[in-house]
Structure 1
């Protein structure tokens, strides 16, 4: 959890949140974003004002950096912006180290690690490369002392932040770092396509999700960065060193080994090229150096720039069909500002007293145009929808807390985001976290929950997982509400279609929501007669995996899922494949094709459709009894979709509408879950279970209970060596074999027990000790 805090929450700017009530959270986040972007401009202006006398040029560069493609693309990833604003101060500190002047490298290094370790790694890596490129120009006797001074101060700054870095390292090894990426020598995409990202407005939702790195800077600065290498006043050795570094950074955008190195061995999930702010900064720095030369432009130099500008425009125009963001407005704006850049470099720079104000003006104008074009390509949620969601769901969750002080989980049949449990203040299953526990991800994936490498949802759950994970309460839409004003109505988007949650007991009806209670849930820790053994999952058999979960928890050897034979389909503009089973092709590709299944359940059990991961919203639209079903997937997970419950003798109407010409349902299955048997077993099994309460943020206590023989206390609490377990005040050891390969568990002998779990962040405490020792040593040495 400390790694999560270090990743998302440790920016000093977050203190601004305390200046306003919680209902203004979204507005304060906007204030923080604006404050960070403004500070990016301030720190970069401070840096470039030291490199060039003219304040207009420094202002133009700082504005281009603050409103670069990286900032526009990642302004909602505000935890990354601290490294963007600290990078100019880092490079300034490194320059001062090289000049043997007083510097704040220790402080800047500490702040980088402290505010966000992920982008700090990128900024500090670039700082090292930048230093090495400069050391080349010092004589051999000076190089090592200068490098040692840099290394020493970087280490001081890093060890001062050991209280955060040490827990982060440990949690990363248990999370994403535990998973492996596929290394290859190939490219992520055709390198020349990255040129499209230099255009104005080069951003949209596709680029956010699976596009190319964002490297936009104002186009006149692109020309000036190129002009740096054409300059006759700049020494060729400096050009060579900076050229090698620039090529390395550009290659890092698309060459797989470098992409993985920059991203800590993992491919980015959404928001590609997360280090590109260092490339943008470096390109702008080269442009400022070129401006500083006050060089008289020769014909061949401006000719080269004109040819390159024309080439870029031709590429943008010809390739516009490949990228939705390259619309007519983007093409026109890019051509216009390239022309203005050529005009400035070739005919105004060094020839007019108004050259600098003119340049600053066109840069600011282009940044505004790019900002408008880029943001217009995105869609935003309505703040009123967010406020309605939080207000209504918190009312329900608070009611549950006021009337039930036990430890339980809660979920919903709809969601606004993966982090709804944070917004509505309840313990849920859904989460989005870049530091996700890899064991939990693997387990939920095997159980059929929709997930990817940094998030998982409650989609794919069943009464089995509800019972075993302790999902005691469900929040459902209230279909019996009186009409409300449009701006007061909740949006029930992204429904999970868990029809069988309606079988749970109604606790209370609220204005727009209903609170349901599942009486068969287990506590977070529960006694099991069987010893814990390692579970072998079959990723292609999610119903089998859920049954294994049930058997491991209860010790009951029973098959709760049974296969249901597919009824004969009704085909509309569809033909079945000869010799193929459950495989269909459109007859007329221009017309809609549908595959329809009608069947009548013979019991009141819950029925499920298992869909393989390759059948999703891109290939079909699915309706059940006229209701549209969300078929989105993330990492091509197989998942279960609830078709009906307590509908014995009633027709269930399932319609697949093809979006492509073919549909293969060979791996799709129909299942019947024996809910009556599940309820009987769980009702009996939970009777002997102890009860647990969370008495503080770090402690869980049980009531006093007895065991007549040696039993295993299993749990659905992810294992961590930070958990200290006491039985009647005495420390007991956890089992090495994890329950479901994921959760902590321990043995209890015959007798009376009272269990206490205490979360002791051992690594954090060790880190604090290292940080304090480092501070003490540093202050002692300074004396």
Structure 2
């Protein structure tokens, strides 16, 4: 009889945990099917960064694992080239990502669908497991709390940041490990799950580690018996936490090096002790549907957990079953977490010293976890709140609701019906938690229905405020670009880069597997955007886009092939699978080698190889000019050693300038155009007539952008990537001798500053001569992969260098004729190697800095822990 009861108890527990997994899994799957997300319709889960950044990394992950393992450590799809361990550590090390290997090409969106709902389910399962082990919750009530956690406001708002969702299901397991450590002294669970978190995503792991310190303080107070025991517990907590860090050293150390070159250089070192906003504003985020697109860049923390969990967390502090010292400590911790959501230095602490770029208060999942766990500990079947507790809770919620309702105009993401509906669920939750009879089967069912209805409504309302990329928009573009890339790669297996005049994302090269020039990444090396800004291409702290190449930069950066979208006519006029991102008149200098319905492929006859012999002047070049045209000329002149090449660009005058509703200007560059009548349209029309077939370029300062004006060249919109903070170069004419070129600039605002607005002519003949010289002694590659190059090169005299367009990194190691050689950085960006006279065999191989040290530390720690555990158990 006892065996039957035990078997029944086990199966009931399993059913509860399965319910904790499948309830959020099914709810979100049903919602996504309702929204017709692929594979169940024409839409997709791609939105904002998931559609503009992460999906490209997922495509890279598949290609690296299945087809190109050499790109795991280094990839030339990462901008002009960059290390990849930092990218893996932040975006790609979730073990669940292996599901994506089953989804090739455009079906990758299907993989994202199942990856997302699976993580929702795992978050519910992990929290359910924690409650089963540490509280008296069971059955439908446990499933309700698990679902409230899985579908908390943070998860709904950040499901597009899919790599962060791993933290949602790992946090309960890490907390349980700490709970075990404090209650039983067993350390393995804590060490294993914390190590996994540190490996999967160091960024979210950092926040969890901070929370573990707070959780340890609360557990230490709650379990306090004497000072000796506390000292032992503190030692175990410190040692096991350090052990987890050492076990993860194989990924943490090379990642730390990567961050030192990129994200860490933007760390805030000065701050003010101040509130970032009026703290009560946070209360609005406890209402359902309190999220929309505007909350992504600069909103308050996402705190929705449902009325039952919110009420239960308040009741915790009046629960006499819990020691007063524990409640007071929990209160202090809760206040600290609340202040972290609105006090600048504490906010910076949780974000490792950097203000988030979009998605503020990323650690709020920890606040939600803490509140829901307190609620689950409190709202057990034997809990009965006193009248004073009920009165205080009612007063707090009524005051908060009244504040939000009276200041509704300040919360554009809320409407009065959402506030009233939220208060209605609070009333239901209050009635439910204060009922004296909680043993009848109807009670847990009612608890379940009310809880699930509210969190489901929140998910529905919140996600309905977000728009998504259609499956066709993603799939058609990806398939077309993949076909273009594949055709080129089948004919040319060399080492080269590809440029294009259209754009879906800055990570297109990752998506379709070619060496490109754009990337959007939080771990982008700082030198890359700095360099892009100098050569006249768009850049930002986390992105670069090679949309404004010139004949010179295309040559020096090994842009051997180009894709250009076709201008369709007839019924399809103005439409294209390939959205234009730039104007490239200078493609007239390139050779057309292929075309399909949507695009034309060109070969650049001036593209230099990945490496070639150049003058040693490149090693001493101090190129400090802020003019991108002059910067390019100086760069090329240093490579050729010919000072005359510094005069490649010459400024040109416009033949005619007319003003409409704008005061006349005698000088165009640097002029401030002011509308005469603010209510009427204003424009300036500039005309120039090329006297030859050379390439002509315009420079636009950061104020001369599509936000401030419309640009039309010869009746057609001058396509241009919109975001740039430095002066860019725009191709305006090529092979247009005697043809009038008319540029119209129509003001969108009352004034426009023509910052660095200049017309330049490139001396194409002199440029061709310089390129011919540099092509004389190329680096003949006999072998190349993403992280290894080997070839021969002949230097006619000593002192010359092998100049490459491989971005400089300490991870690149060179040999010349079998002997180790020092690599040198040129123009603050690229790798060069000094050459002796004669024929030389040169290799460049990449290996991530600190990876070997990290592996040794991790293996050593694993041996020590395993050996210690074995000896302990053998003795006992």
Q: TM-score, normalised by structure 2?
A: 0.82
Q: Please name the residue that 1:164 is paired with.
A: 251
Q: After TM superposition, give the deviation of residue 520 of structure 1 in Å.
A: 0.9
Q: Please name the residue that 1:508 is paired with.
A: 594
Q: After TM superposition, give the deviation of residue 101 of structure 1 in Å.
A: 4.9
Q: Please name the residue that 2:13 is paired with.
A: none
Question: Partners of 2:363 and 2:783 in 1: how far apart?
Answer: 41
Q: Which runs of 5+ in 2 are unaligned?
A: 1-83, 871-876
1:461-516 alpha-carbon deviations (Å, 9 max, x no partner) = 22221111111111111346998999xx8522251222322431111112322211
2:447 corresponds to which of 340, 344, 359: 359
1:532-551 alpha-carbon deviations (Å, 9 max, x no partner) = 44555557433333333323
Matched length: 776
Does the residue aligned with 2:823 lie in a helix, a strand or coil?
coil
1:315-372 alpha-carbon deviations (Å, 9 max, x no partner) = 444555455433x3xx412321222213321465333544443333223222222222
1:25 corresponds to which of 95, 108, 130: 108
Q: After TM superposition, give the deviation of residue 121 of structure 1 in Å.
A: 1.3
1:539-565 alpha-carbon deviations (Å, 9 max, x no partner) = 743333333332333333222232234
Question: Partners of 2:282 and 2:777 in 1: how far apart?
Answer: 63
Check if 1:383 corresponds to 2:468: no
CA contact 1:388–1:490 (8 Å) conserved in 2: no
CA contact 1:389–1:490 (8 Å) conserved in 2: no
Check if 1:549 corresponds to 2:638: no
Does the residue aligned with 1:717 lie in a helix, a strand or coil?
strand
Question: Partners of 2:339 and 2:215 in 1: how far apart?
Answer: 16
Check if 1:758 corresponds to 2:758: no
Q: Please name the residue that 2:423 is paired with.
A: 338
CA contact 1:439–1:742 (8 Å) conserved in 2: yes
Give the 5 Å matches for 1:58-69.
58-69=142-153
Q: After TM superposition, give the deviation of residue 276 of structure 1 in Å.
A: 1.9
1:591-641 alpha-carbon deviations (Å, 9 max, x no partner) = 444333333334433333323324444333333333334555546333223
1:655 corresponds to which of 718, 737, 744: 744
Give the 5 Å matches for 1:145-294.
145-181=232-268, 183-185=270-272, 186-229=274-317, 234-292=322-380
Does the residue aligned with 1:618 lie in a helix, a strand or coil?
coil
Give the 5 Å matches for 1:120-135.
120-135=205-220
CA contact 1:407–1:694 (8 Å) conserved in 2: no
Question: Which deviates further from its counterpart, 592-601 or 420-429?
Answer: 592-601
Question: Partners of 2:433 and 2:330 in 1: how far apart?
Answer: 27
Q: After TM superposition, give the deviation of residue 781 of structure 1 in Å.
A: 0.9
Q: After TM superposition, give the deviation of residue 402 of structure 1 in Å.
A: 1.9
When residues 187 and 516 of structure 1 are mapped into structure 2, their CA distance, relative to the original with a 3 A threshold, is farther
Q: After TM superposition, give the deviation of residue 409 of structure 1 in Å.
A: 0.7
Give the 5 Å matches for 1:459-470.
459-470=547-558
Question: Partners of 1:413 and 1:366 in 2: how far apart?
Answer: 48
Q: After TM superposition, give the deviation of residue 252 of structure 1 in Å.
A: 2.6
Question: Partners of 1:627 and 1:256 in 2: how far apart?
Answer: 48
Give the 5 Å matches for 1:68-107.
68-103=152-187, 104-107=189-192
Q: Please name the residue that 2:130 is paired with.
A: 47
Does the residue aligned with 2:831 lie in a helix, a strand or coil?
coil
1:19-71 alpha-carbon deviations (Å, 9 max, x no partner) = 34444222112111111111011101111233232433322222122122221
Question: Partners of 1:537 and 1:245 in 2: how far apart?
Answer: 53
Question: Which deviates further from its counterpart, 85-94 or 449-458?
Answer: 449-458
2:228 corresponds to which of 116, 137, 141: 141
Question: Partners of 2:519 and 2:425 in 1: how far apart?
Answer: 48
Q: Please name the residue that 2:121 is paired with.
A: 38
CA contact 1:469–1:521 (8 Å) conserved in 2: yes
CA contact 1:233–1:293 (8 Å) conserved in 2: no
Question: Partners of 1:129 and 1:88 in 2: how far apart?
Answer: 14
CA contact 2:585–2:734 (8 Å) conserved in 1: yes
Q: Please name the residue that 1:492 is paired with.
A: 578
CA contact 2:583–2:720 (8 Å) conserved in 1: no
1:180-227 alpha-carbon deviations (Å, 9 max, x no partner) = 435211454554443443332233333223434333322443343334
Give the 5 Å matches for 1:706-717.
706-717=795-806
Check if 1:731 corresponds to 2:826: no
Q: Please name the residue that 2:874 is paired with.
A: none
Question: Partners of 1:596 and 1:317 in 2: how far apart?
Answer: 53
Does the residue aligned with 1:287 lie in a helix, a strand or coil?
helix
Q: After TM superposition, give the deviation of residue 387 of structure 1 in Å.
A: 1.8
Q: After TM superposition, give the deviation of residue 718 of structure 1 in Å.
A: 1.9
Question: Partners of 1:362 and 1:592 in 2: how far apart?
Answer: 57
Q: Please name the residue that 1:613 is paired with.
A: 702
When residues 58 and 632 of structure 1 are mapped into structure 2, their CA distance, relative to the original with a 3 A threshold, is farther
Check if 1:782 corresponds to 2:866: no
When residues 373 and 595 of structure 1 are mapped into structure 2, their CA distance, relative to the original with a 3 A threshold, is farther
2:785 corresponds to which of 677, 688, 696: 696
Q: Which runs of 5+ in 1 are unaligned?
A: none
Higher relative contact order (CA 8 A, sep 6+): 2
Q: Please name the residue that 1:772 is paired with.
A: 859
Q: Please name the residue that 2:46 is paired with.
A: none
Question: Partners of 2:380 and 2:571 in 1: how far apart?
Answer: 66
Q: TM-score, normalised by structure 1?
A: 0.92
Q: Please name the residue that 1:403 is paired with.
A: 491
Check if 1:597 corresponds to 2:597: no
Question: Partners of 2:622 and 2:333 in 1: how far apart?
Answer: 48
Q: Please name the residue that 2:650 is paired with.
A: 562
| RMSD, aligned α-carbons | 3.0
When residues 525 and 370 of structure 1 are mapped into structure 2, their CA distance, relative to the original with a 3 A threshold, is same
Q: After TM superposition, give the deviation of residue 89 of structure 1 in Å.
A: 0.6
Q: After TM superposition, give the deviation of residue 457 of structure 1 in Å.
A: 0.8
Question: Partners of 2:307 and 2:709 in 1: how far apart?
Answer: 42
When residues 612 and 366 of structure 1 are mapped into structure 2, their CA distance, relative to the original with a 3 A threshold, is farther
Give the 5 Å matches for 1:735-746.
735=824, 738-746=825-833
When residues 265 and 412 of structure 1 are mapped into structure 2, their CA distance, relative to the original with a 3 A threshold, is same
Does the residue aligned with 2:827 lie in a helix, a strand or coil?
coil
Q: After TM superposition, give the deviation of residue 744 of structure 1 in Å.
A: 2.0
When residues 52 and 499 of structure 1 are mapped into structure 2, their CA distance, relative to the original with a 3 A threshold, is farther
CA contact 1:535–1:741 (8 Å) conserved in 2: no
Question: Partners of 1:586 and 1:17 in 2: how far apart?
Answer: 54
Question: Partners of 2:764 and 2:304 in 1: how far apart?
Answer: 56
Q: Please name the residue that 2:95 is paired with.
A: 12
CA contact 2:704–2:755 (8 Å) conserved in 1: no
Does the residue aligned with 2:736 lie in a helix, a strand or coil?
coil
